[in-house]
Chains A and B, each alone.
Chain A
Amino acid sequence: MVNLALAWVEAYTALHPEVRISVTGGGSGTGIAAMINGTVHIANASREMKPEEIAAAKANGITPVEFIVAWDAIAIVVHPENPVNGLTLQQLSDIYTGKITNWREVGGEDRPIVLLSRESNSGTYVYFLEHVVRLGQKNDLLFSPDTLLMPSSEGISAEVRQNRNAIGYDGLGYVTPDQKVIAVARDEKGPYVLPSIETVNDGSYPISRPLYMYTPGEPTGQVKEYIDWVLTDGQAIVAELGFVPLKNAKGR
């Protein structure tokens, strides 16, 4: 999320040169801890605050205020002629760990499955591993060693466009129209949901998570102006970085 925060600050300070904002990375826990200690004005986080963190903040006399500022959603893509329309999270996990190796086993043609992934330094890689391959549980499942690691989004889309065996994933913002997006269900009872700004915003698409900003108390002054801008005009940047903008954002 630090990329998004940096892009926002860069665009905002270009518009308002009198405002100075500095961004520090380090993970959601770092930002929230700093907010609890009162050393930052805004904590960006890719997860909700835990109850004990809220309690710690209250003990310091701080009431955290939560803003959902964007969504991080991952689309599953295949070749346009692949007949498979929907997969469950369990099937996706089995495919990416190498337990399922043929499209026939998930209702497709008799073809080997070619796994595509982003490089391991991409945030999307870690998120996909934790939420899909490991199904959000603490286990030590890993991507199959046969997984092709593509250095770019273009690498994934080029292979998906050309190869009927391929399956890939990427941030929803990077999906081009010449790839087929697979509907995903939490379990076999369904429903199978296609990712879109609506289904991501209402939480029905399973592989998505909100991105948050927390402020110590209701924001005022420059902090309020900045967050208001992030929630409106700042949403244009969200899609550029491969995240999903808020549905009701202005200027979309």
Chain B
Amino acid sequence: MEKSSSQARTARLPSRPLEFAIESLIRVLGFSAIGFVTLIFIFLLTEGLPAFLQVRPRNLFSTRWYPTFNLYGVLPLIAGSALVTVTAMFIAFPLGLFTAVFVREVAPNWAREILKPLIEVLAGIPSVVLGFFGMTMLAPIVREVLGAPTGLTALTGAIILAYMSLPTIISVAEDALDAVPKSYRDASLAMGATRWQTIWRVVVPSARSGILMALMLGMGRAIGETMAVMMVTGNAARMPEGLQAILKPVRTMTATIAAEMGEVAHGSTHYHVLFGIGLILFVITFLINLAVASMMFQKRSRGGLR
């Protein structure tokens, strides 16, 4: 296959220089995406790695983050990001899955036609607008209804993040449900299963890996979000302890970088530590994407998008 196409190309070459030029251009552009990611990674490494050399591990992996006084404990930041993201997924995943099932399996055609574009509009709301909404509307509700001392908590951030990752989760999960062959549904119904049983015992399980992918992509979206989180989580760098921690303020990795990078002296230890946090974040999102990619690969090798 590869051989014959390259033969065909060399045969055509002299007569079609323009085609050759365009083909090469497209190839260069395609590879440049990989090049950029590599360059960004190298940049992150050169700026971030000195942090791990300049700051003692005992300081870096402690729980006190006071960069003005050379205390660079990143654990509260990692734990803060993890807490907010995981809580957001606990809210967004069931909601997103149920919405996807409704849109794909239950809703009549006309409702689907309205719902799908609306969900896409949801994805277009700028995060700073959601952050402002969270700060002025949601925070007072969290404070008054749940009795927290302040409304700027991990939970508030998680609700906003859940809202932001919902469109991703819904569309990917919906595509996965869509890819389940009609014959499965027909077979199930023909066996005497009700519609409810067909959806929950046949369709959703067969779309399992696609739904899992939706969760991972939503998570990737949530962990990297900055502005809205910075506005509603209170940014107190304390270790979350126990279950009530979701009603306390947290400081995420992204908010720390955004809040502190603007004023930090170029090349200082603090500067390198912020890049070091960026590096940690990059590795985490990379692992999430890798998990998604390997799932897609498995699916492809089994044939059919399910």
List A residues at the B interface (Cβ < 8 Å). Answer: 111-114, 119-122, 125-126, 129, 140, 142-143, 145-151, 155, 158-159, 162-163, 165-166
Contacts and interface: CB of A to CB of B under 8 A. Distances in A.
| Nearest 6 A/B pairs, CB to CB | A121-B263, A148-B234, A145-B238, A112-B149, A149-B235, A114-B150
Given A148-B235, A148-B249, A121 B262 contact: yes
B66 A163 contact: no
B162 to A, nearest CB: 22
A78 B249 CA distance: 19
B259 A148 contact: no
B237 A162 contact: no
A111 B143 CA distance: 13
B238 A151 contact: no
Given A145-B237, A148-B152, A148-B235, A158 B135 contact: yes
Contacts of B135: 155, 158
Most-contacted residue by chain B among A112, A125, A145 (CB, 10 A): A145
B68 A125 contact: yes
A134 to B, nearest CB: 11
B63 to A, nearest CB: 8
A113 to B, nearest CB: 8
21 contacts: A112-B149, A113-B149, A120-B68, A120-B260, A122-B263, A143-B66, A145-B76, A145-B236, A148-B249, A149-B235, A149-B236, A150-B235, A158-B136, A159-B139, A159-B152, A162-B139, A162-B143, A163-B140, A163-B143, A165-B150, A166-B150
Interface of B: 64, 66-69, 76, 135-136, 139-140, 143, 149-152, 230-231, 234-238, 248-249, 251, 255, 258-260, 262-264
Contact of A114 (B76, B149, B237): B149
Contact of A151 (B69, B136, B235): B235
A89 to B, nearest CB: 21
Given A163-B150, A166-B150, A149 B66 contact: no
Nearest to B73: A145
Contact of B64 (A113, A145, A158): A145
A145 B238 CA distance: 5
A100 to B, nearest CB: 14
Contacts of B231: 151, 155
Given A120-B67, A125-B68, A162 B260 contact: no
B149 A162 contact: no
Contacts of B251: 149
A158 B67 CA distance: 26
A146 B259 contact: no
A143 B65 CA distance: 11
Contacts of B139: 159, 162
Given A113-B149, A159-B150, 13 more contacts: A111-B149, A125-B68, A126-B68, A142-B66, A145-B64, A148-B236, A149-B234, A151-B230, A151-B258, A159-B139, A162-B136, A162-B151, A166-B150
A165 B139 CA distance: 13
Contacts of A113: 149
B69 A146 contact: no
Contact of A163 (B69, B151, B258): B151
A99 B69 CA distance: 20
A165 B151 CA distance: 11
Contacts of A165: 149-150
Contacts of B236: 145-149
A155 B149 CA distance: 16
Nearest to A123: B263
B236 to A, nearest CB: 5
Contacts of B264: 121
B256 to A, nearest CB: 9
A149 B238 CA distance: 11
A73 B284 CA distance: 43
Most-contacted residue by chain B among A122, A143, A163 (CB, 10 A): A163
